[in-house]
Amino acid sequence: MNEKITIGKLAKDPGCLAEYDPNAMEYKDALKWIRQFIEPVKETQIIPIRDSLCRVLSEDIYSPIDVPNYDNSAMDGFAFYKTKENLPTTYEVIGSNLAGQSSNEKVLPGQAIQIMTGARIPNGANTVIPIELVSSEGNKISVNKSISIGGNIRKIGEDVKKGELILKRGRYIRASEIGLLASLGLPKISVYRQIKVAFFSTGDEVVEVGNSLKVGQVYDSNNHTIGAMLERIGADIINLKIISDDKKELKKTLLSIADKVDVIITSGGVSVGAADFMKEVLNEIGEVLFWKLAIKPGRPLAYGKINQTHYFGLPGNPVASMVSFYQIVQPQMKALMGEVDYELPPLFSVKTERAIFKKPGRMEFQRGILFQNNDEWWVKPTGQQGSAILSSMSQANCFIVMEIDESTIDSGGIVKVQLMEGFI
């Protein structure tokens, strides 16, 4: 991709690039186009690991220790020295090792030490036999089952070796990374700063929750879905609520916030209706591309910049704004946060219980319900698939992803699904 392309150039002369077709941009192309304008944040801060959930590592982490840092037992049982010949079969129990204790007792051939999970393997022992596999009489145990030499011992460094590169810069931090960092004894880490995102809804008909609703009005759900999705990925949010379809107001709002945040996200007003002013306003104060994306739901989408601040204009329809946030904006936010190689959840194939209707021409993200039947996973579409049917997003646990050229799939046919769990 050409490095010298700027949004300004594209906005003024879309034809300057053969691949850029504002009339029907394909999903994957839109992702790539926007991505080239995203410069990850550079500022870092050092924070306690417990505060690092949903942040992005800004340093490579090498382990300062071996994990575990001593050979220990994986089972409750008896530690002893096992020979190839499996002899003897009876051992004298000379003591016990509990987890957290560090006894120096030595086991001689023919002896055993009772040992608990996590306790250090005594000197002289090479194998642990689980308590369930021995019979005991007085201070003697008989080993009845064959067990391999070295069995049930967790070796030093088996999980992580001292000096090993364990997490790379650009890694998004989840509970498991926090746990891993704790297991290395690291109380603090360096992360990229949070991205700051301001967002608001547009529309004279849009009303804040908590007020009464007149005929012709609609509650502002986008503000809540967009805000929640931003919080899910760890953004620092500024909620500017609702701005009416008024050019002056829109302009004033955008200008007042632009230099205070990394990203501005709006919903509504990006298509071609009489009150869709975003294009006009943004052309005055920034550089913006308006796309007709070949996706459903979510055809209109705007991306641009107001000075250094990124701008995303999402469609007003609630499902369309969620889908375009999730499928297009979120990957860009992840890149901006410093996450390296973010990928949306993978697609996998399942059978559909009902026909899935589609015309070729647009990529579709229909809402589906994955369910199990006779040990097999199936999907069925939620009822209505309109871009205003927000209940479909709530019923769904996956997207049914249909490629641009695909058409209706009959019941029993194979479709691709993408899990929503944990992301929406």
Q: DSSP letter at 344?
A: P
Nearer to ligand AMP, 250 or 415 (CB): 250
Q: Which does 205 bind (CB under 5 to 8 A by kind): ligand AMP, Mg ion, none?
A: ligand AMP
Q: How far is the CB of 298 from ligand AMP (least distance, A)?
A: 10
Contact 268/206 with Cβ under 8 angstroms? yes
Alpha-carbon distance of 126 to 111, in angstroms, equals 12
Contact 186/105 with Cβ under 8 angstroms? no
Nearer to ligand AMP, 269 or 331 (CB): 269
Alpha-carbon distance of 120 to 61, in angstroms, equals 27
Q: How far is the CB of 316 from Mg ion (least distance, A)?
A: 5
Q: Which does 221 bind (CB under 5 to 8 A by kind): ligand AMP, Mg ion, none?
A: ligand AMP
Using the structure block, give the residue that is written with the tokens 């009772």: 114
Q: What's the token pair of residue 395?
A: 């019923």
Q: How far is the CB of 214 from ligand AMP (least distance, A)?
A: 13
Q: Which does 170 bind (CB under 5 to 8 A by kind): ligand AMP, Mg ion, none?
A: none
Nearer to ligand AMP, 234 or 318 (CB): 318
Alpha-carbon distance of 31 to 308, in angstroms, equals 19
Q: Is 300 in the site for Mg ion (CB under 5 A)?
A: no
Query: Which residues, including other chains, have CB under 8 Å from residue 355's CB and lie 6 or more apart?
Result: 408, 409, 410, 411, 413
Q: How far is the CB of 315 from Mg ion (least distance, A)?
A: 9
Q: Which does 315 bind (CB under 5 to 8 A by kind): ligand AMP, Mg ion, none?
A: ligand AMP
Q: How far is the CB of 289 from ligand AMP (least distance, A)?
A: 17
Nearer to ligand AMP, 58 or 202 (CB): 202
Among 420, 304, 310, smallest CA distance to 368 is for 420
Alpha-carbon distance of 404 to 267, in angstroms, equals 25
Nearer to Mg ion, 203 or 381 (CB): 203
DSSP annotation string for 77-126: EEEEPPPTT---SEEEEEEEE-TT-----BPPTTEEEEE-TTPBPPBT--
Q: Is 268 in the site for Mg ion (CB under 5 A)?
A: yes
Q: Is 315 in the site for Mg ion (CB under 5 A)?
A: no
* Vertex 118 angle, CA 116 and 119, to 5°: 60
List of residues contacting ligand AMP (CB under 6 A): 201, 203, 205-206, 218, 220-223, 267-269, 271, 273, 276, 315-318
Q: Which does 267 bind (CB under 5 to 8 A by kind): Mg ion, ligand AMP, none?
A: ligand AMP
Alpha-carbon distance of 124 to 106, in angstroms, equals 6
Alpha-carbon distance of 370 to 100, in angstroms, equals 45
Q: How far is the CB of 408 from ligand AMP (least distance, A)?
A: 26
Q: How far is the CB of 337 from ligand AMP (least distance, A)?
A: 25
CA distances from 112 to 94, 108, 146 (A): 6, 8, 16
Nearer to Mg ion, 77 or 268 (CB): 268
Q: How far is the CB of 205 from Mg ion (least distance, A)?
A: 7
Closest-by-Cβ residue to ligand AMP is 316
How many residues touch Mg ion under the rule CB under 5 A: the total is 4
Nearer to ligand AMP, 170 or 269 (CB): 269
Using the structure block, give the residue that is written with the tokens 């889908």: 323
Nearer to Mg ion, 100 or 216 (CB): 216
Q: How far is the CB of 239 from ligand AMP (least distance, A)?
A: 12
Q: Is 203 in the site for Mg ion (CB under 5 A)?
A: yes
Among 316, 284, 288, 320, smallest CA distance to 302 is for 288
Q: Is 381 in the site for Mg ion (CB under 5 A)?
A: no
Chain residues in the site for Mg ion (CB under 5 A): 203, 268-269, 316
